[in-house]
Amino acid sequence: MRKIMLVAALAALTGTAANATTWVATCTDGKNVQYVQTVKGAGYLYLRTAKDYFQAARLTQTSDSETVVCGTVVGNAEAGQPPVSELCIDKSRQEISLKYRKPGASALEDVGVYCAAVVTLRATNLKEH
C-alpha cells in the first residue's frame, strides 16, 4: 500500500512535465552534420569539426509523422512568408533530406537526400515554464 501511495505522490509531482520525443540524425557518409528535433519543440543543426559538434542553427518544426519529422531554420524567410527550405529526418530511410521553395513557387519541392544518417529517437521530459 505504501508503494502505491508513493507512486501516486510522484505522479502528482510530475504533473507539470510533458513527454516528447527527440529525433537525432547524424550523417554517416562524410558530411559532418547532426540534426536534432524535439517533436513540438526546438530543433538544432550542429556542424562537426575535428574537435566536436557545434550548434550552427536553430530550427522550428514544420511537420511530423510516424516516420518523418521536418523543420526550418529560424529566420530563413521574411516575416509572414513561408519557409524557403526544410530539413527532414526520415527514420525508415535513415537519412536527412532537403526541401526547397523556388522563387515564386507556392510549395516546397523535395530536392533530395542530403546525407545517409543514423536516426535515433529518445524520450524527452520537457518541463513547463
Percent of the chain with pLDDT over 90: 65
pLDDT digits (tens, 9 = 90+) for 13-55: 333 346 789 999 999 999 999 999 999 999 999 999 988 889 9
Mean pLDDT, rounded, for 55-73: 95
Task: Tell me the C-alpha distance between 15 and 83, whole Å.
Answer: 35
- First-to-last alpha carbon distance for the chain, in angstroms, is 33
What count of other Cβ atoms lies within 10 Å of the Cβ of residue 89?
A: 26
pLDDT digits (tens, 9 = 90+) for 109-125: 999 999 999 999 998 76
- Structure confidence at residue 98 as a pLDDT band (50, 70, 90): very high
Q: 59 with 37: CB under 8 angstroms?
A: yes
Q: Does the reported pTM lie above 0.85?
A: no
**27: Cα within 13 Å, side-chain hemisphere:** 19
Q: 87 with 100: CB under 8 angstroms?
A: no
Mean pLDDT, rounded, for 84-113: 95
State the chain's mean pLDDT as an integer.
84
- Structure confidence at residue 6 as a pLDDT band (50, 70, 90): very low
Q: What residues does each domain of the chain span?
A: 21-123
